[in-house]
């Protein structure tokens, strides 16, 4: 196991060719409301798609994550990719509930004759309802901006059919019958695609060139995997 943990892991995917990187606008078209706890990151979606193509499994505890290269340019120091976080306008919100019940069918199948009752009203097997907020988006779309290779981004995003939380119950479903994704050229602006009017469009290091001193700050993970909270640091974040 030590040899596996210490050996050099081959990266997944190929880095973006700077000669093919152009300003792009990426849009996800949804047919269902979406449940979001944090803004969606385009680089994370592409990294998942690359790893999925390679059928790469998550590392075991104590092992390192393999480097995943995606068709979006990295910033000059290589710390993160030049893409914004997802932006959308929520027109309305709905409070819904997800039921959590003890698997009493499995208990009955695997249990012994000595177990005659499972208490579902209290204790470890208590059933409960989990509240969550469903967002209905204007135009049913989320959009990002990036500097990347459209010819490689489109096929990777075609592997993504749902976004956000509670995907198993159909939330965040993309319009797979029409056009789930749009990847198109767009006009760049000063600071594209991570700054607009000196304000961040994604979490950025505090020393990033052109960043306003009054940009909001929070503790976030700079690049994927974003679930690695041990890598959190103080960053400039969108309002």
**H-type alpha helices, the chain:** 2-6, 42-53, 104-110, 150-157
34 and 172 in contact (C-beta within 8 Å)?
A: yes
The pTM of the full predicted model, rounded to 2 decimals, is 0.85
CB 106 within 8 Å of CB 181: no
Handedness of CA 58, 60, 62, 63 (dihedral sign): negative
Q: Tell which phi-psi region holds residue 140, choosing left (phi > 0), alpha (psi between -120 and 50) or beta.
A: left
**C-beta separation of 161 from 174 below 8 A:** yes
Position with higher pLDDT, 7 vs 179 = 179
Region 1-29: what's the mean pLDDT? Answer: 80
Indicate the range of 108-112, 180-184, 215-219 predicted with least confidence. Answer: 108-112
Distances (CA, A) of 201 to 142, 189, 236, 239: 14, 13, 9, 9
**SS3 of 120, please?**
coil
pLDDT in tens, 18-48: 999 999 999 999 998 999 989 999 999 999 9
For the chain, the domains span: 9-236
């Amino acid at each position: 196991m030590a040899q596996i943990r210490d050996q050099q892991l081959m990266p997944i995917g190929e880095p973006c060719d700077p000669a093919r990187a152009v300003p792009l606008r990426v849009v996800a078209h949804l047919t269902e409301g979406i449940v979001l706890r944090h803004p969606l990151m385009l680089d994370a979606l592409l990294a998942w798609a690359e790893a999925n193509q390679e059928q790469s499994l998550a590392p075991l505890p104590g092992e390192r994550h393999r480097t995943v290269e995606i068709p979006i340019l990295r910033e000059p120091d290589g710390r993160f990719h030049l893409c914004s976080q997802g932006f959308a306008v929520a027109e309305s919100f709905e409070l819904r509930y997800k039921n959590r019940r003890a698997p009493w069918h499995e208990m009955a199948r695997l249990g012994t004759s000595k177990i005659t009752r499972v208490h579902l009203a209290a204790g470890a097997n208590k059933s409960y309802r989990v509240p969550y907020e469903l967002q209905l988006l204007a135009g049913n779309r989320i959009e990002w901006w990036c500097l990347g290779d459209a010819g490689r981004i489109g096929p990777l995003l075609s592997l993504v059919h749902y976004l956000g939380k509670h995907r198993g119950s159909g939330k965040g479903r993309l319009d797979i019958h029409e056009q789930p994704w749009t990847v198109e050229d767009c006009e760049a602006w000063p600071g594209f695609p991570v700054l607009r009017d000196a304000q961040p469009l994604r979490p950025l290091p505090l020393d990033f060139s052109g960043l306003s001193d009054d940009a909001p700050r929070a503790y976030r993970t700079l690049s994927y995997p974003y679930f690695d909270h041990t890598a959190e640091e103080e960053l400039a974040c969108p309002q």
